[in-house]
């Protein structure tokens, strides 16, 4: 019995030492991941600044907007903030939200000929869903609603990035009129 009890105590001590080492390793990884996260934000914000500077050097003076979902981290000051949800652009779940019309963003884009909208995405993705599909859907719907009230040519087509498959682009384009009808019914 005595040897069995000593073996249990040694196992508990070894277990406690291992748990302490594991905890120390997790803390170190956490500090490293927080540091990496902050470095990533810094690099991304420098990219945003450099991109805007490049356009402004060519006399393009679009206002700089943050998407409130993830973009506000990436700049010290903004001309405005919009709210485009990436889930509205998720594959096969495309949506247009009449509760997030972002008309203040539309007015700014119309007044200035365009806007920069800054957003981010999770690691491993090249481009945020909000900019891949949500924003192009929103632009097409708003342009069709506004264009329907104006004379002359008005671009109400959905303009999607080239990396979306032709099938996915066609499915999104097929839904635009339904989104327009739903929005028109609420106004």
Report CA-CA distances (Å) from 52 to 11, 34, 38, 108, 120: 60, 27, 21, 17, 16
Give per-residue pLDDT as tens, 69-91. Answer: 676 777 778 999 998 877 666 66
Looking at residue 162, its pLDDT comes to 94
Q: Please, what is the average pLDDT of the chain?
A: 80
Looking at residue 20, its pLDDT comes to 60
Q: CA–CA separation, 122 vs 66, rounded Å?
A: 17
Which of 7-11, 146-150, 170-174 shows the lowest mean pLDDT across its residues?
7-11
Tokens linked to 159: 């303009």
Residue 141 has pLDDT above 90, yes or no: yes
Residue 109 has pLDDT above 80, yes or no: yes
Which of 60-74, 83-97, 157-171 shows the lowest mean pLDDT across its residues?
83-97
Residue 54 has pLDDT above 90, yes or no: yes
Give per-residue pLDDT as tens, 6-41. Answer: 555 555 555 556 566 665 665 565 556 777 778 888
Looking at residue 158, its pLDDT comes to 94
SS3 of the chain: the string is CHHHHHHHHHHHHHHHHHHHHHHHHHHHHHHHHHHHHHHHHHHHHHHHHHHHHHHHHCCCCCCEEEECCCHHHHCCCCCEEECCCHHHHCCCCCCCCCCCCCHHHHHHHHHHCCCEEECCCCCCCCCCHHHHHHHHHHHHHHHHHHHCCCCCCCCCCCCCCCCCCHHHHHHHHHHHHHHHHHHHHHC
Residue 175 has pLDDT above 70, yes or no: yes
Q: CA–CA separation, 85 vs 66, rounded Å?
A: 12
Give per-residue pLDDT as tens, 113-140. Answer: 999 998 887 666 677 778 888 899 999 9
Q: CA–CA separation, 48 vs 142, rounded Å?
A: 26
């Amino acid at each position: 019995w005595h040897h069995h009890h000593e073996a249990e105590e040694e196992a508990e001590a070894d277990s406690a030492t291992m748990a302490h080492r594991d905890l120390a390793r997790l803390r170190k990884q956490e500090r490293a991941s927080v540091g990496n996260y902050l470095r990533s934000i810094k690099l991304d914000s420098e990219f945003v600044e450099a991109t805007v500077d490049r356009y402004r050097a060519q006399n393009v003076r679009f206002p700089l907007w943050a998407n409130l979902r993830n973009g506000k981290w990436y700049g010290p000051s903004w001309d405005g903030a919009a709210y485009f949800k990436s889930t509205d652009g998720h594959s096969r779940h495309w949506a247009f939200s009449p509760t997030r019309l972002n008309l203040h963003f539309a007015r700014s884009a119309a007044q200035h000929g365009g806007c920069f909208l800054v957003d981010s995405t999770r690691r491993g993705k090249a481009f945020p869903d909000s900019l891949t599909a949500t924003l192009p859907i929103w632009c097409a719907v708003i342009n069709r609603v506004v264009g329907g009230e104006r004379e002359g040519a008005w671009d109400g087509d959905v303009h999607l990035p080239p990396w979306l498959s032709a099938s996915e682009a066609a499915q999104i384009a097929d839904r635009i009129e339904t989104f327009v009808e739903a929005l028109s019914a609420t106004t």
